[in-house]
Structure 1
Amino acid sequence: MPVFSLRRAAWLACLAGAFVLAACNKPDPAPAEAKPAPVAKEETVPAKNPEDKEGDDKPAEAAEAGQLKLSAEEIETAGIQVEALAAQSVADQVVLTATIRANQERIAHVAPRVSARITQVKAKLGDNVKAGQPLALLDSMELGEAHSAYRQAQSQLALAKADFERAQKLKAEEIISDKDFLRARSEYEKARASLRAADDRLRLLDAAHDESEAGPVSVFPVKAPFAGTVIEKSAVLGELAQPDKSLFTVADLSTLWIEANLFEKDLGRVRVGAPATVTVSAYPGEAFQGRLTYISSTVDRETRAVQARVEVPNPDRRLKPEMFATAAIATAATTEALTLPQAAVLLVNGQPTAFVREAGGFEPRAVEVGDKVGKRIVLTSGVKAGESVVVAGAYALKARLLKSQIGDAD
């Protein structure tokens, strides 16, 4: 390479380096006016309306503590009341599953005493009837013949009586012989006997002859033997009624029998005359008071049970025959137990539950229950004496509990 070119290249390199050095040492320009830093946009939290009730979005429960928290206003609105549990003397009971039956001493199957055609049906199923009230009218040929025989006997008696009275007068005047007088008296006695026989036959047919009766004498009524209710009816207009076939069944339902099986192990605990409490599913929370009136003298060979009977008054006819019932028969023994009103124990997820008042709220507590004593129920476990348990308003707490469980599931 020529020397001139090398010198020129070196000179250009030095010039470039000087230019670069001058650029680096150039003073910084005056700083521009600082602009404000951008401010992050603040999320506005809506102010809470003090009139809004707590629990609109989520029930006011303390899930972590398993308690239901209610304000004083909510407690008053729900009608919640608590009761401090204390042991009470409770009569020991034998509780039996039973069936309601009609009082068998006050039930009658009504049928005619003679074959007859049904001409009129006066009573309907379910009617309340009085003693002696006609239930149906029947027409019987046999009864008509019996009335005809009675009338004939009456006529014969009247004729025989007149002959006898005339014979008495003639005998007194010694106009007829003793033989004629005795014959007249014999005919009179025979006529009297025939009339008595005809009258007896009418009474056996459950009828009586009445000259003032209007209509055919072959028609007669079948009547209710006592006041009661028609619980069965088979009478059909125009059919032939027979003495061996019941037309109506009348029962006095003012008292009923509660029939149950008493096991051998309980025989020594109950006595005839003991008070009993009967409950049925048709009227929850209600109890019907009765008395044990009968204990069988024999034990069933197969079930090893003894038939027992409780008699219960039924003036308003609310109890019906063939209902299932539970009979609690009181014994002479008493025990100490914790009890609650039956409405205070509710089924929650299939488990009997009571609500206990705690400092933080109301705690649902699973309990085990025993026998029912009147309108109360015995608690065998789950709560202790001295604890405050909800006795009114438990349904409101149950509703809140179920609502909270649904919310947790979501």
Structure 2
Amino acid sequence: MLNRQSNSLTVNRRFRAAALTLLLLPFLLLGACGKRDAKVAEEKTVNIQVKAVETKSLRPFIETIGSMKAFEQVVASSEIEGILRTTNVEEGAFVSKGALLAMVEDRDYASELRRVEYALKQAEATLVNTKAEFGRKEALYKEELVTKQQFDDVATRMAVADAEVERSRAALAIARERFAKTRILAPMAGWISEKKISQGEYVRNGTPLYTLVQIDPLKLLFTVSEKDIGRLKVNQDVQFKVDAYPDREFKGRVTILYPTIDERTRSLMVEARAANPERLLKPGLFAKVMLYTTEARDTIVIPVTSMLYEGKNVKVFVVEGDRAKERLVKVGNKYDDLMEVVDGLKGGETLVIVGQQNLAEGVKVHVAR
């Protein structure tokens, strides 16, 4: 009786164990499949395109913003008083040095000039007569035929006549100068950028009449950060573009490095000179400036589109074997669609140029052909 009960309990335990195993089997199989799927996911291959890192011969440059200025700017002003009789040029005209810009009414100045010329002639005639009389008196005085007082009188009158001639000559020079100033002449060759007064207005000494500018050549003024001033020198080549002519590239040369740093911006003012024979460039235009600092050198460059940004860091991916490797790089100048790499890459390395957004360190890759 006891043996039958013991056998029955053993059978029941085995039955329960078998039933429990059958019940848990789907879950065990599902877990095993999940592990296999995860392993497959970890080994997923990313399709990419690559390009060898290039080394090109390029000229390092500093990029900045500048402004065009007239090479010379002069205001032509009246130097005498009077009514402005004529204005001979308008804004936009080109004038040569010495060209007639305007005239002040000259009748009073011409009359004064004639009066002084007549006074000089009279003074010169008086001096001639006095000198002749002095000669006669001198001879008579030597013969003791005239007194010393008579001789001294004629000598004094001759000195006065001589002084009057000198005074009249000085007055004539002034009158001629004042008469000449009724004609306002261009102080330099240039373009009339502003006409400040109209015909018939009254002008005084110092009244501005015209502004003239010289625009060939032009000045190009720009600033350079203090960290780059050690790369600057006079006669460096400058290339620049302006929005008015986006497809044109203009050239210049550094002429002045200003002696002080702006304490607010921590930058140095630089002046360049640019030829402007076609007069396309105008004072006031903004310019995008590239200042070449050395001769061409071998430079590692990569496509701009291959770079990824993480905050202030720039990274790229290269391929080693069948795996992607992340590289942090230090970049320099931008050359159109290429970026200079200062540190982090070597020429000839295999650079990922398409698909890098899908990569992480060590991911398996397949290079698409």
Give the TM-score normalised by structure 2. 0.62
- C-alpha displacement of 1:86: 6.1
Aligned equivalents of 2:83, 2:334: Cα separation in 1: 56
Aligned equivalents of 2:112, 2:236: Cα separation in 1: 54
- C-alpha displacement of 1:187: 2.4
Alignment of 1:246-285 (within 5 A): 246-285=208-247
Verify: 1:230 aligned to 2:196, yes or no: no
Instruction: Decide whether aligned partners of structure 1 residues 335 and 181 sit closer, same or farther in structure 2, where only a CA change above 3 A counts.
Output: farther
For structure 1, list consecutive stretches of 5 or more residues without a partner in the other structure.
1-83, 209-218, 341-367, 387-410
- C-alpha displacement of 1:147: 2.3
Alignment of 1:6-405 (within 5 A): 87-103=55-71, 106-139=72-105, 143=109, 146-147=112-113, 150-171=116-137, 173-174=139-140, 177-202=150-175, 205=178, 207-208=179-180, 220-332=182-294, 334-336=297-299, 371=334, 377=336, 379-380=338-339
Aligned equivalents of 1:279, 1:258: Cα separation in 2: 11
Structure with more helix by fraction = 2
Aligned equivalents of 2:213, 2:94: Cα separation in 1: 10
The SS at the match of 1:296 is strand
Instruction: Decide whether aligned partners of structure 1 residues 163 and 270 sit closer, same or farther in structure 2, where only a CA change above 3 A counts.
Output: same
Per-residue CA deviation, residues 18-48 of structure 1 (Å, 9 max, x unaligned), is xxxxxxxxxxxxxxxxxxxxxxxxxxxxxxx
Instruction: Decide whether aligned partners of structure 1 residues 276 and 379 sit closer, same or farther in structure 2, where only a CA change above 3 A counts.
Output: same
Q: Percent same amino acid among aligned pairs?
A: 22
Structure number with bigger Rg: 1
Matched residue, 2:365: none
Most deviating of 123-132 and 284-293? 284-293
Give the TM-score normalised by structure 1. 0.56
- C-alpha displacement of 1:204: 5.7
Query: Is 1:110–1:250's contact at 8 Å kept on the other side of the alignment?
Result: yes
Query: Is 1:149–1:198's contact at 8 Å kept on the other side of the alignment?
Result: no
- C-alpha displacement of 1:155: 3.1
Instruction: Decide whether aligned partners of structure 1 residues 247 and 85 sit closer, same or farther in structure 2, where only a CA change above 3 A counts.
Output: farther
- C-alpha displacement of 1:85: 10
Query: Is 1:88–1:338's contact at 8 Å kept on the other side of the alignment?
Result: yes
Instruction: Decide whether aligned partners of structure 1 residues 263 and 370 sit closer, same or farther in structure 2, where only a CA change above 3 A counts.
Output: closer
Query: Is 2:82–2:204's contact at 8 Å kept on the other side of the alignment?
Result: yes
The SS at the match of 1:297 is strand
Give the partner amino acid of 2:156: R
- State the structure with bigger RCO (CA 8 A, min sep 6), 1 or 2: 2
For structure 2, list consecutive stretches of 5 or more residues without a partner in the other structure.
1-51, 304-330, 341-346, 350-369
The SS at the match of 1:285 is coil
Aligned equivalents of 1:301, 1:172: Cα separation in 2: 80
Matched residue, 2:317: none
Aligned equivalents of 1:123, 1:332: Cα separation in 2: 47
Aligned equivalents of 2:116, 2:260: Cα separation in 1: 52
Per-residue CA deviation, residues 35-91 of structure 1 (Å, 9 max, x unaligned), is xxxxxxxxxxxxxxxxxxxxxxxxxxxxxxxxxxxxxxxxxxxxxxxxx99642111
Instruction: Decide whether aligned partners of structure 1 residues 146 and 88 sit closer, same or farther in structure 2, where only a CA change above 3 A counts.
Output: farther
Give the partner amino acid of 1:280: V
Structure with more strand by fraction = 2
Matched residue, 2:42: none
Query: Is 1:369–1:378's contact at 8 Å kept on the other side of the alignment?
Result: no
Aligned equivalents of 1:114, 1:315: Cα separation in 2: 36
Aligned equivalents of 1:138, 1:85: Cα separation in 2: 73
Matched residue, 2:362: none
Query: Is 1:153–1:194's contact at 8 Å kept on the other side of the alignment?
Result: no
Query: Is 1:261–1:308's contact at 8 Å kept on the other side of the alignment?
Result: yes
Matched residue, 1:73: none
Query: Is 1:255–1:311's contact at 8 Å kept on the other side of the alignment?
Result: yes
Query: Is 2:80–2:182's contact at 8 Å kept on the other side of the alignment?
Result: no
Give the partner amino acid of 1:185: M
Aligned equivalents of 1:338, 1:199: Cα separation in 2: 76
Per-residue CA deviation, residues 208-249 of structure 1 (Å, 9 max, x unaligned), is 5xxxxxxxxxx8210001211111111201111233331001
Aligned equivalents of 2:187, 2:159: Cα separation in 1: 41
The SS at the match of 1:262 is strand
Give the partner amino acid of 1:336: T
Matched residue, 1:71: none
RMSD of the TM alignment (CA)?
A: 3.3
Aligned equivalents of 2:96, 2:152: Cα separation in 1: 57
Aligned equivalents of 1:284, 1:261: Cα separation in 2: 22
The SS at the match of 1:327 is strand
Instruction: Decide whether aligned partners of structure 1 residues 385 and 230 sit closer, same or farther in structure 2, where only a CA change above 3 A counts.
Output: farther
Q: How many pairs does the alignment contain?
A: 259
Aligned equivalents of 2:228, 2:234: Cα separation in 1: 13
Instruction: Decide whether aligned partners of structure 1 residues 194 and 385 sit closer, same or farther in structure 2, where only a CA change above 3 A counts.
Output: farther
